[in-house]
Amino acid sequence: MTLDAEAKMQFLFALRSRGVMDKRVLEAMEKIDRGAFVKGLFAERAYEDMPLPIACGQTISQPSIVGLMTQALQVDPRHKVLEIGTGSGYQAAILSQLARRVYTMDRHKRLVTEAQAVFDALDLANITAIASDGTRGLPEQAPFDRILITAAAEDPPGPLLAELKVGGIMVVPVGQSDAVQALIKVTRTETGFDYDELRQVRFVPLVEGMGAD
């Protein structure tokens, strides 16, 4: 077995052993090469189950957390999904395999430009990356079947809750930055919102306004 094939097998084993069981999610994570989203020195560590630094002082999330969040989102092929926090673009690429359409937003233009270049290179034509403050939502494409926030909010932002369809699901890490955060699954019902706490996580903070680059 080549080193690459072995690294990939270990990658998938780590996902399963940490609770990523959904067949479609595992298939998407087998297909999308995380190495394409990690640049420079860290590229060779792309198949380890670790968060890694990317540009603008941000991080690409740990693969098992990407898997667990994606699994919790219960995406189906008819869904229109919004992600806040494009970062490297890896999470959006996984979502693109499961959904009809993916919109992903980041407050750093540079991350959006770099992620879009990877989407183009991999022919992931159902993703649109937008440089904008995601806390304000994306009114021109709302409502969404699913919303995934990959930065920690103090509370789920109101404009995003308002853009969730009835029956829709939002997954969001909630808590003060750097402290322990709880990953929350919010389901919109006819009359309000149901909240489910999934596990503890640690994400970079959701910050209002645009980044400097």
Binding flag, residue 34, ligand SAH (CB under 6 A): no
| Nearest to ligand SAH of 166, 210 (CB atom) | 210
Binding flag, residue 95, ligand SAH (CB under 6 A): no
Binding flag, residue 28, ligand SAH (CB under 6 A): no
Binding flag, residue 133, ligand SAH (CB under 6 A): yes
Checking 16-24 for CB contacts under 8 A at 24+ apart, the result is: 18/49, 18/64, 18/67, 18/68, 19/64, 19/68, 20/64, 20/67, 20/68, 20/71, 21/71, 22/70, 22/71, 24/97, 24/98
| Nearest to ligand SAH of 169, 206 (CB atom) | 206
Query: Among candidates 22, 27, 79, 87, which has minimal Cα distance to 54?
Result: 87
Strand 181-188 to strand 101-106: parallel, antiparallel, or no bridges (unpaired)? unpaired
Binding flag, residue 116, ligand SAH (CB under 6 A): no
- The nearest distance, CB 190 to ligand SAH, in angstroms, is 29
Where does 55-143 show beta strands of DSSP type E? 59-60, 80-84, 101-106, 127-131
Q: Could you give the string, one character per residue 52-91, with x where binding to ligand SAH holds by CB under 6 A and - elsewhere?
A: ------xxxx----------------------xx-xx-xx
Binding residue count for ligand SAH, defined by CB under 6 A: 25
Distance (Å, whole) CA 32 – CA 122: 9
- The nearest distance, CB 96 to ligand SAH, in angstroms, is 12
Where does 87-152 show beta strands of DSSP type E? 101-106, 127-131, 144-149
Q: Which stretch binds ligand SAH (CB under 6 A): 28-36, 105-113, 161-169, 185-193?
A: 105-113
| Candidates 17, 61, 64, 177; catalytic one | 61
131 forms beta bridges with 106
Q: In degrees to the nearest 10, what's the CA dihedral of 26, 161, 127, 173? A: -50
Distance (Å, whole) CA 192 – CA 190: 6
| Nearest to ligand SAH of 109, 199 (CB atom) | 109
Q: Is 96 a catalytic residue?
A: no
- The nearest distance, CB 45 to ligand SAH, in angstroms, is 14
- Active-site amino acid positions: 61
Residue numbers at the binding site for ligand SAH (CB under 6 A): 58-61, 84-85, 87-88, 90-91, 105-108, 111, 133-135, 150-151, 204, 206-208, 211
